[in-house]
């Protein structure tokens, strides 16, 4: 079940993030190695009503944050976005390593797409580290297109992706 996160979920979400940080470190990926995201960031995301969790047997096994306000780091890209439409931005998506390979990230993306469409938007953007090949493969598998490279805080480079959605007709 995917649901909106609440403050009681922080410890479960932090477990996922810490496991992802450990995975990145073991695989030489310098993503999330500087204390980000921390509990303060996760709490802020929850308070903005932008965080969702995937739960199975009362255990949080996946999470993501979505915003419909755009992302200031997406203004400049070395490449080209697919269009200039308003978009949702997905960040801090992760699944517990013991649950990887089961299509759960795809379920989280499908839910993010549903939320995006409910806002009347038809585009989602996301970025990841250039060495995070597993996320890049997951993005491509879920219909995202590599658009170029961006720079986020602390001049960290990221690979940027976008997906155009078809609006649901009710």
Q: Is the pTM of this model over 0.85?
A: yes
Given the structure tokens 């806002």, which residue do they identify? Answer: 119
Structure tokens at 154: 């602390």
Q: How distant, in Å, are the alpha carbons of 105, 115, 159 from that of 156?
A: 24, 28, 10
Model confidence over 7-58: pLDDT tens digits? 999 999 999 999 999 999 999 999 998 888 999 999 999 999 999 999 999 9
Model confidence over 44-103: pLDDT tens digits? 999 999 999 999 999 999 999 999 999 999 999 999 999 999 999 999 999 998 898 899
């Amino acid at each position: 079940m995917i649901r909106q996160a609440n403050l009681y979920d922080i410890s479960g979400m932090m477990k996922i993030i810490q496991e992802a940080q450990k995975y990145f470190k073991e695989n030489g990926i310098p993503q999330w190695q500087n204390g980000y995201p921390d509990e303060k960031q996760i709490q802020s995301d929850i308070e903005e009503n932008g965080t969702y969790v995937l739960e199975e047997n009362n255990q949080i096994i996946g999470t993501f944050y979505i915003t419909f306000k755009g992302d200031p780091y997406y203004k400049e890209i070395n490449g080209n976005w697919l269009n200039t439409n308003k978009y949702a931005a997905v960040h801090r998506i992760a699944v517990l390593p013991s649950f990887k390979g089961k299509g759960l990230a795809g379920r989280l993306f499908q839910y993010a797409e549903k939320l995006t469409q409910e806002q009347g938007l038809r585009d989602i953007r996301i970025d990841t580290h250039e060495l995070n090949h597993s996320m890049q493969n997951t993005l491509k598998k879920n219909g995202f297109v590599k658009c170029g490279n961006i720079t986020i805080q602390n001049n960290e480079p990221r690979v940027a992706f976008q997906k155009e959605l078809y609006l649901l007709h009710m």
